[in-house]
Amino acid sequence: MENETAKLRLAEPEDLPALLDLYEGARAFMRRTGNLHQWENGEGPNEMQLRQDIRDRSLYVLVDHGTIHGAFFFSMAGEPNYDVIREGSWESDAPYGVLHRVARDAACHSFLKTAVDFALRTTSHLRIDTHRDNKVMQHAILSCGFSYRGIINLADGSERLAYERV
């Protein structure tokens, strides 16, 4: 979505049905592109998580003519899962912003760049992670100026590839 009518704003509780549809579409896209295990079995963006993100004022949506075309989580509160990194290291220990739960529909292009540009208005230090099988996201992350830093584990023990932009 690269037009002047699209606007980023904080997600609101009434956005929840559209957000659930958006993330379901993102799950289907990941399955079609070979990422069979990320955001499965209730992991990832579910109703409870999205409600919390909205309450925390950390979930942003891209809206055009009343339709949500993309969503992402952004916070400067840090990420406990990033405290330990294996097979690499973080470039900087300075405070950082975190991007998570990035999803878009088919009408929206270069959406990670939109999210990164938004976050860069707050901080020049960003971290993000993705599933090893999410080749589409890995490519997008690298194209947005991040560098691969190593492997982190989520609370459930599953691995994610970690990236940083300083």
- CATH number for 51: 3.40.630.30
pLDDT per position as a tens digit, 25-42? 888 888 888 877 787 766
Tell me whether residue 97 is in a domain: yes
Cα four-point dihedral sign 136, 108, 39, 148: positive
- How many structural domains is the chain composed of? 1
**Residue 64 CA from chain centroid, whole number:** 20
Between CA 121 and CA 21 the distance in angstroms is 29
Given a cut of 90, is residue 102 above it in pLDDT? yes
Average pLDDT over residues 100-115: 92
Which of 3-7, 38-42, 102-106 is predicted most confidently?
102-106
Q: Which structural domain range is residue 114 located in?
A: 7-165
Look up residue 76 and give its DSSP letter.
S
In a domain, 25, yes or no: yes
The pLDDT of residue 27:
86
- In this structure, is residue 2 part of a structural domain? no
45-97 pLDDT, tens digit per residue, is: 989 999 999 999 999 999 999 999 999 999 999 999 999 999 999 999 999 99
Give the tens place of pLDDT for each residue, 114-155. Answer: 999 999 999 999 999 999 999 999 999 999 999 999 999 998
User: Band of the pLDDT at 3, cuts 50, 70, 90?
Assistant: low
What is the predicted pLDDT for the residue at 41? 67
Kindly state whether residue 21 falls inside one of the protein's structural domains: yes
pLDDT attached to residue 106: 85
Residue with tokens 């579910």: 46
Asked if residue 76 belongs to a domain, the reply is yes
Residue 43 forms part of a structural domain? yes
Polymer length of the chain:
166
pLDDT at 2: 55
